[in-house]
Amino acid sequence: MNQDGLPSWRRIVLWGGPHAGKSTLAAAACVTQFVEVDGGTWQALPGGTDPEPGIYAELGKLLQEDRLLPDPDLDGETRVRLNLRGTVPVPGPRRTWWQRRLRGPVPPVATRDLIARIELLDRPGDDYRHFVDVRPEDDQRLSALADADGLVYVFDPVAEIRRERSNRSYQTRFLRLLRRWAQEENMLRARNYLPHRIAVCVTKYDETEVYNQGCVGGFGTQGPDDTRTPRVSDVDAVDYLRWICRQHGADDVFAAIRNSFDPERVRYFVTSATGFYVRPGESFDANDHANVEADGKSIRGLVRPVNVLEPLIWLAMPYAETVER
């Protein structure tokens, strides 16, 4: 808890190869949206002005109003602070057998308000290349990554489809870096698992080839809202990643995640920062769903992030605190 009575900032590091979709994911987290998680409703609100005044507003506006994706060649580090606020149901007292038998009115569900505060750290994928050959002046920056309260691993299926192999090379580098840090700090867990909690996000789900391949594999159902845009449920997400990796001879990329992190501390999500295109007033059309223009820089319709806040909420949940009403 900070002096201001609010929880302290928790650092969440985005990890993935160049062009994997990290910065777009960070920007999509800043788009106004409400999401449902386990019966609770959540939203992300700007996280104050420190250290980069207005960056939240800029990123959200870029996607939502200007309909532009962040410049993929942007250098340097971006930190985005978000207040995650949720209203979640509180389990009521169990009804006794005679209350159940009387079948009286079901009591209203009590709720409570939660807040967690996160700082998303986004670095260009190429940075991890030189972190592996650590130089003393990098040490502090290195531990800022390794010490993270949560990791988001951005797996790019488009890179596999195009046979770029960047998922593998950047994964190997980063895992080597984390392992060396954990060994030196004596942080390895049982079975040599790394200590981190990690949300594995298979991204660009809206991309035509990615979506079509998912359909071939039998993945995807209609989402909960009235646009009926596709989703892969959290339960199926791990099988989806395993399947994608298998299609492209990248089984080792999947295995490396499985072998490096405690299964209790990993969750899988199928995400899209931009979401699918839906014609105004209509629902999802499988024959016309591309939301990113052919130039790869601009968005065609409304941005409708899929599973962008959900992984962040899952990572932040252990640090969430109740807010007095």
Ligand X SMILES: Nc1nc2c(ncn2[C@@H]2O[C@H](COP(=O)(O)OP(=O)(O)O)[C@@H](O)[C@H]2O)c(=O)[nH]1
Note the residues at the interface with ligand X (CB under 6 A).
Answer: 16, 18-24, 69-70, 72, 125, 203-204, 206-207, 272-274, 292, 296
Least distance (Å) from ligand X to the CB of residue 109? 34
Question: Pick from ligand X, Mg ion, none: which does 204 bind, CB < 5 to 8 A by kind?
Answer: ligand X
**Of residues 148 and 232, the one with the C-beta less far from Mg ion:** 148
What's the CA gap between 256 and 171, in Å, rounded? 8
Nearest to 68 by CA among 297, 276, 308: 297
Task: Tell me the longest C-alpha to C-alpha distance in the chain.
Answer: 71
Which of 7, 13, 16, 23 is in the footprint of Mg ion by CB under 5 A? 23
Question: Pick from ligand X, Mg ion, none: which does 149 bind, CB < 5 to 8 A by kind?
Answer: none
CA 271 to chain centre: 7
Question: Pick from Mg ion, ligand X, none: which does 230 bind, CB < 5 to 8 A by kind?
Answer: none
In the complex, which residue's CB is closest to Mg ion?
23
Identity at 154, one-letter amino acid code: V
Q: Give how many residues touch Mg ion by CB under 5 A.
A: 1
Tokens read off for 227:
């646009």
Least distance (Å) from ligand X to the CB of residue 38? 24
What's the CA gap between 274 and 294, in Å, rounded? 14
**Of residues 115 and 290, the one with the C-beta less far from ligand X:** 290
DSSP per residue, 187-256: ---GGG-BS--EEEEE--TTSHHHHHHHHHTT--EE-SSTT--EE--HHHHHHHHHHHHHHTT-HHHHHH
Least distance (Å) from Mg ion to the CB of residue 314? 22
Report the SS3 class of residue 34. strand
Question: Pick from Mg ion, ligand X, none: which does 40 bind, CB < 5 to 8 A by kind?
Answer: none
**Of residues 49 and 208, the one with the C-beta less far from ligand X:** 208
Tokens read off for 208:
């035509």
Binding piece for Mg ion, criterion CB under 5 A, among 22-30, 80-88, 246-254, 267-275: 22-30
User: Under a CB-based contact definition with an 8 Å cutoff, are residues 151 and 196 in contact?
Assistant: yes
**Of residues 21 and 150, the one with the C-beta less far from ligand X:** 21
Question: Rounded to 5 degrees, what are φ and ψ at 221?
Answer: -135, 175
What's the CA gap between 61 and 65, in Å, rounded? 5
**Of residues 14 and 232, the one with the C-beta less far from Mg ion:** 14
User: Under a CB-based contact definition with an 8 Å cutoff, are residues 56 and 47 in contact?
Assistant: yes
**Of residues 84 and 292, the one with the C-beta less far from ligand X:** 292
Q: Which CA distances in Å does 98 have to 95, 101, 102, 106, 108?
A: 8, 5, 6, 13, 19
**Of residues 260 and 274, the one with the C-beta less far from Mg ion:** 274
Distance separating the N- and C-terminal Cα atoms of the chain: 17
Least distance (Å) from ligand X to the CB of residue 88? 27
Question: Pick from ligand X, Mg ion, none: which does 304 bind, CB < 5 to 8 A by kind?
Answer: none
**Of residues 23 and 83, the one with the C-beta less far from Mg ion:** 23
Q: Which residues contact 183 (CB under 8 A, 6 or more apart)?
A: none
Question: Pick from Mg ion, ligand X, none: which does 195 bind, CB < 5 to 8 A by kind?
Answer: none
Binding site for Mg ion (CB under 5 A): 23
